[in-house]
Structure 1
Amino acid sequence: MGAANGDLSFMADFNGITRSRELAPIAVPLTWGELHDLDAPSRWHIGDGAEMLKRATSKNVAYWGRADQVLPDL
């Protein structure tokens, strides 16, 4: 996969436009329950944009990426 077999679709072309493969997998925040039921790491792909927008407003991932903590002064 990738440049080793000649697939350069992940690279930008000379006009600065990025290309992606139709079913290229994407990273998605998951709950522990979803992780348990996940059948493959490529479950979501670049074509799932509408589902990703819906997930972004879900209460399951409402605080994803947020850490409520106080760090000590060093």
Structure 2
Amino acid sequence: GNLTIKDEQLSFLIRMYVHFSVLNYKKNQSNVNWVSESLREEYKKWRNICLQEIKDYEKEFCKEESLKSEIEVE
């Protein structure tokens, strides 16, 4: 099936959330100070923004707690 525009938006938000989570995890696991503390905080901020956007999306579009209702099947 094809994803709707709304599904693509959610997919993007989830990918960005994972991206910022991984960056933050790498910073926390690294013994080398490859990222400044301010950049680490920026990762956390954007991760939290993505998480809130995901929650808002699901609240508005996923009334049945399932993304299947948002997927168009050919």
Per the normalisation by structure 1, the TM-score is 0.24
Larger strand share, 1 or 2: 2
Larger radius of gyration: 1
Larger helix share, 1 or 2: 2
Per the normalisation by structure 2, the TM-score is 0.24
